[in-house]
Amino acid sequence: MKYLDEFRDPEVALRLIEEIKELATRRWVLMEVCGGQTHSIIRNGIDQLLPDAVEMVHGPGCPVCVTPLETIDKALAIAARDDVIFCSFGDMLRVPGSDEDLFQVKGGGGDIRVVYSPLDAVAIAKDNPDKEVVFFGIGFETTAPANAMAVYQASQDGLENFSMLVSHVLVPPAMCAILDSPHNRVQAFLAAGHVCSVMGYEEYYAICQKYKTPIVVTGFEPLDLLQGIKAAVIQLEDGKAEVHNAYQRAVRPEGNLPAREMIADVFAVTDRTWRGIGMIPVSGWKLSDRYRELDASVRFSVEGIQSKESELCHAGEVLQGTLKPDECPAFGKECTPRTPLGALMVSSEGACAAYFHSGRFARAVAL
Amino acid sequence: MTIDGWTCPIPLRNQPNVVMGHGGGGMLSAELIEHLFLPAFGGTRLADMADAALLDLPQGRVAFSTDSFVVRPLFFPGGNIGELAINGTVNDLAMRGAKPLYMSVGFILEEGLPLSDLGMIAESMAAAAKQADVEIVTGDTKVVDRGHGDGIYINTTGVGTVPAGIDIGPSRVTPGDVIIVSGTIGDHGIAIMSVREGLGFEADAVSDTAPLNAMVADLVEADLDVHALRDPTRGGLAATLNELAASSGTGIVIDQDAVPVRRVVAAACEILGLDPMYVANEGKLVAFVPEEHAEEALSVIRSETYGGEAAIIGKVVGEHPGMVVATTPLGTTRVVDMQVGEQLPRIC
């Protein structure tokens, strides 16, 4: 497949591994920010190939994992209403709330539909004028343009039965929060390539400078990841801390300007609680005042829900890179993809699920 | 066949749609059978209209299997629910080495289903049965209120006989067995997803629905001591391999790159964040064959109408019992687990 096969070439990958082995003279700790990168590292077994000197810790960039429990509980309450068609991306359906998940609400009679695009939810609203159609607008900067477009479109069309439950999160404040933590071990970041394709990477210069931490904009295929790792190791070995774009085929310094304009119109920056991590100042987007009437949490009275997280789940430490998924006492025991205690065990981008599905056991015999 | 190509043999009291009376056992029911099902399905046993069909079975053990079909949409690229319902049960019988002989069909119709759709589906079933050389010998129709069904649900049950000396089943999977898949995986699931409501993507994916009994008959005839056969339907290849690893207490190692996947399916999976290993098939089998017979089995399968793209994808090992492991192009390994439920498209 064009644009994919050439970035999966095993020979080039193994050559890059050798180069990384030669470059790394001491132990370095790198964090890949995005859950898609974690998924690809585990799926392709890149962690098995890297030298011991390069340790990858998995970042907080899994959108379903960090969506706050309170928001999930609000979604469950809205989705259970008889007058609502609740639309969501697929992997939100199995994320545990305090008591149940969206699948269970669906089983109990809730009209819950999986859509691939928020614009599909707008179309469903047009087709069902006697129902309230709510879209669960979550994710990082990556999903924000399409979500913003859906809000804009619904507003332009005067659709009164469409609203969005918004809980967007932003990558750069989370990176700063990780670096500010007294337990931080991260020495360099592989920045999330698709977030940067929307937002660009200009805001990373200040972070780089303040924390003296290299930031390498990195893609998702094996060669992308290895090139990102190599670029980060080179900087660390040279004692440098710069912003480097190792994903040039998708990312421009300024990002996608029309998308950013749309986002700036529809969303406004807000403080946001991250599931497992806690409140991070100015780390999220909510609907801007102009679109307040399309805010589902305003339209439906869902305040005052009591949320309760599992006491066994250590997802917060995993998200901050201080605990590996399989070091959690509940991993593979109380907590499995069948019975997830935390969101990290649900999405294939969640570090715990990625470990469980793909990297659970030591190497098996080769063919 | 398209819906446009089908014409009702006679107007059923000028009813364009299924009404409750079609399941009531009265004249409307009789008309539906006489003018729609009988002309489509034919056969003397069915035409007897007795309460039960009497079957003549050759010597040998009887294989017996049932399956229900609830696919949506009813018509999709490459087929419709009717063909699926026949091929599905034919294939389940064939996976034990049986020659499928007779089938029952049970319809649960939703009030309001266009009779032209039902006629089209029945004709497809008849064509599929003819191709698989099975006879539809008995059936049943019920109608449920509008809103209580998805247009049509179909149950099929089939019987066949297993020739003497043939023992094909999951318990015979043994370390050393070579694993063959009869063609590209994921075609059916992606074809369905491409036309399902709310999933706005375009892909030229076509369902692979097909009868596999001729392929199995030729494998049996070639005397290749096939240990096990499975058709990897729901849950895809990954579920099938995991089930067999678990039930036989063996480990399975597959070469990820050897698994045939059509480009359009691979591309759709990339976009949706799915893994083709977990996507459904309706016209593929997985064969577990002793190593010394593997190449011959592969060439038999490849010579079949539905086996041209067959490939050896891995082998059964004594290590890591119950676990399926894939080797990647980078020479690394990953565990191929069962999915909890449906595969869920990723957010981004």
Domains within chain B, CATH numbers bracketed = 17-162 (3.30.1330.10), 170-335 (3.90.650.10)
Closest CA to A144 of A250, A286, A293, A248: A286
- What residues of A are in contact with residue B327 (Cβ under 8 Å)? 366-367
pLDDT digits (tens, 9 = 90+) for A195-217: 999 999 999 999 999 999 999 99
Phi-psi region of A192 (alpha: psi -120 to 50; beta: other; left: phi over 0): beta
Residue A171: what residue type? V
Residue A299 CA to residue A174 CA, distance in Å, equals: 29
Closest CA to A165 of A5, A328, A325, A296: A296
* Residue among A4, A143, A367 whose CB faces B270 most closely: A4
User: Is it the case that residue B24 has pLDDT exceeding 90?
Assistant: no
For chain A, the average pLDDT equals 91
User: Is it the case that residue A282 has pLDDT exceeding 90?
Assistant: yes
Residue B286 near residue B241 (C-beta atoms within 8 A)? yes
pLDDT digits (tens, 9 = 90+) for A132-165: 999 999 999 999 999 999 999 999 999 999 999 9
* Residue among B273, B317, B348 whose CB faces A139 most closely: B348
Average pLDDT for residues B308-319, to the nearest whole number? 97
C-alpha neighbours within 13 Å on the C-beta side of residue B276: 25
Task: Write down the pTM of the prediction.
Answer: 0.86
In the prediction, which pLDDT does B199 show?
61
Token readout for A38 is: 């974690």
A342-346, B184-188, B329-333, range with the lowest pLDDT = A342-346
Average pLDDT for residues B284-296, to the nearest whole number? 97
Three-state SS for B3?
helix
Residue of chain A minimizing CA distance to B264? A1
Flag if B253 and A44 touch (Cβ within 8 Å).
no
Q: How far is B334 from chain A (nearest CA, A)?
A: 5
Residue of chain B minimizing CA distance to A192? B348
Chain A, chain B: beta-carbon pairs less than 8 Å apart: 127
Q: How far is A239 from chain B (nearest CA, A)?
A: 31
Which residues of B touch chain A, with CB atoms under 8 Å apart?
Answer: 198-201, 251, 253, 255, 263, 266-267, 270, 272-273, 314-315, 317, 319-320, 323, 325, 327-335, 337, 340-341, 344-348
User: Is it the case that residue A362 has pLDDT exceeding 80?
Assistant: no
Residue A267: what residue type? F
Residue A172 near residue A255 (C-beta atoms within 8 A)? no
Flag if A140 and B327 touch (Cβ within 8 Å).
no
Residue B146 CA to residue A241 CA, distance in Å, equals: 66
Partnered with residue B17 across adjacent β-strands are B114
In the prediction, which pLDDT does B1 show?
41
Query: How many whole angstroms from its chain centre is CA A219?
Result: 14
Domains of chain A: 5-36+43-64+172-245 (3.40.50.11750), 67-170+255-299 (3.40.50.11740), 315-358 (no CATH)
Residue A32 CA to residue A222 CA, distance in Å, equals: 13
Query: How many whole angstroms from its chain centre is CA A173?
Result: 13
pLDDT digits (tens, 9 = 90+) for B162-176: 999 999 999 999 999
Q: What dihedral do alpha carbons A19, A20, A24, A27 form, nearest 10°?
A: -160
- What residues of A are in contact with residue B348 (Cβ under 8 Å)? 36, 63, 139-140, 142-143, 194
User: Is it the case that residue B10 has pLDDT exceeding 60?
Assistant: no
Residue A30 CA to residue A59 CA, distance in Å, equals: 10
Flag if A143 and B337 touch (Cβ within 8 Å).
no
Instruction: Say how many C-beta atoms besides its own lie within 10 A of residue B205's C-beta.
Output: 26
In the prediction, which pLDDT does A304 show?
72
Average pLDDT for residues B226-238, to the nearest whole number? 96
How buried is B199 (Cβ within 10 angstroms: 0-12 exposed, 13-18 middle, 19+ buried)? middle
Three-state SS for A109?
coil
Q: What dihedral do alpha carbons B199, B347, A64, A244 form, nearest 10°?
A: -170
Flag if A120 and B347 touch (Cβ within 8 Å).
no
Structure letter (DSSP) for residue B207: -
Residue A182 near residue A210 (C-beta atoms within 8 A)? no
For chain B, the average pLDDT equals 90
Flag if B201 and A349 touch (Cβ within 8 Å).
no
Residue B152 CA to residue B172 CA, distance in Å, equals: 38
Alpha helices in A184-256 (DSSP H): 193-199, 204-211, 222-238
Flag if A365 and B253 touch (Cβ within 8 Å).
yes
Q: Which of A42, A339, A358, A361 to probe by mutation at the B interface, max B CB count within 10 Å?
A: A358
A308: confidence class by pLDDT, cuts 50, 70, 90:
confident
Q: How far is B265 from chain A (nearest CA, A)?
A: 11
In the prediction, which pLDDT does A62 show?
84
Closest CA to B69 of B177, B207, B161, B179: B207
Which value, in Å, is the radius of gyration of the alpha carbons in chain B?
21
pLDDT digits (tens, 9 = 90+) for A71-118: 999 999 999 999 999 999 988 898 888 889 999 999 999 999 998 889
Average pLDDT for residues A249-271, to the nearest whole number? 97
- What residues of B are in contact with residue A363 (Cβ under 8 Å)? 332-333
User: Is it the case that residue B2 has pLDDT exceeding 60?
Assistant: no
